[in-house]
Chain A
Amino acid sequence: MPRPKPKAKPRANPKPRDIRFGHDLSEIQNADGVDLALIRANLRLSVEERLLALEAQIRLADALDAARKKKP
C-alpha cells in the first residue's frame, strides 16, 4: 500500500501572489507596481553603465523630438 504523502506545511509568511492575465506578477512587481525585474537588471550594471544608458535614453528622446518638429 502506497505511503500517504505528507501534508505540505504552510509557509510562515507566504509571499502574496498577484495572478493576472495568467502570470504571477508578484515575481516582477512589488505591491506598488514597481518593476523589480527592471531594478534588478539596473543593479547588475556598474554606475558608469547606468549613466551611459541614461545618455542613450536622452539621445533617443532628443531624436524623437527633432523628428516630431520636422513633420509638416
Chain B
Amino acid sequence: MNFGLALQALAQHEIEFLVVAGVAAIAHGASTMTRDLGILYRLTPENVERLVRAFQELDAVSYGDPRRLPFEFSHLNNTGHHLAETRIGRIDALGSIGNDGEIVYEDVIDDAITLEAFGVSFRCIALERLIAVKEALGRPKELLAVMELKAVASQSDASLNDPGTRGGA
C-alpha cells in the first residue's frame, strides 16, 4: 500500500472526502494495523464522477471480484461500501459509515481535522467522532480500538488537535 500516492491521487482529482477507519485511528496516534485506506466521500454527482475518474487512473477493480470489473458511476453513487483494489493498494470508498449507513460525509465534515502528509492536505474524522462511531458499531474489534483511541485522547491533548505541534503536520 502506498498511502502517499493514494492521497495524492484523491487530491489531484479534487475529491471531497475524509479519512476514516483504521488509517484515521493511526493518523490520530493509535497503533492498530490495517491494509487499506478508508475514505468517506461526499455523495454528489460531481464528486462521484471525480472518484470514478480517480479509480480509473488507479486501475481500481472491486476487491475479490474475479471478473475484475472497473467501478462505474452507478456503483459508487450510493451509501454502500466499495472496496477497491488498485495498483497502489486497497482503498475502501465508503458512501456512509455507522451501523445502518446513517452517517454521511456532511454529518462529520464540520468537526473533521485537516492533516498534511506527502505534500497533500486532507481531512480526517475527528478523534471524538471516530470513538463515537466505533462505540456505536459495538463489535469486539471496534471496542478494542475504542480502548486504544480513548488512551490516545488522554495522551494527545498536545498533538493533532493543536495545529502548532508535529502531530498536526
Chain A residues close to B by CB (< 8 Å): 30, 32, 34-36, 38-40, 42-48, 50-52, 54-55, 57-58, 61
Contact = CB atoms under 8 A, between A and B. Distances in A.
A22 to B, nearest CB: 24
A47 B148 contact: no
B27 A30 contact: no
A7 B85 CA distance: 66
9 contacts: A32-B147, A32-B150, A34-B147, A43-B167, A46-B167, A50-B29, A54-B34, A55-B1, A55-B2
Interface stretch (B97-105, B112-120, B129-137): B112-120
Contacts of B34: 54
B106 to A, nearest CB: 24
A35 B166 CA distance: 21
Interface in B13-37: 23, 26-27, 29-31, 33-35
Contacts of A45: 166-167
Contacts of A40: 155
Nearest to B36: A58
Contacts of B166: 44-46
DSSP class of A's interface residues: helix, strand, loop or mixed?
Answer: helix
A57 B148 contact: no
Contact of B31 (A30, A39, A51): A39
Contacts of B33: 54, 57-58, 61
Contact of B167 (A47, A51, A57, A58): A47
Nearest to B90: A58
Interface residues of B, number: 32
Contacts of B159: 43
Contacts of A58: 1, 33, 35, 89
B169 interface: yes
Contacts of A44: 166
Contacts of B147: 32, 34
A54 B6 CA distance: 14
Interface in B123-158: 147-148, 150-152, 154-156
A47 B3 CA distance: 11
B80 interface: no
B152 A51 contact: no
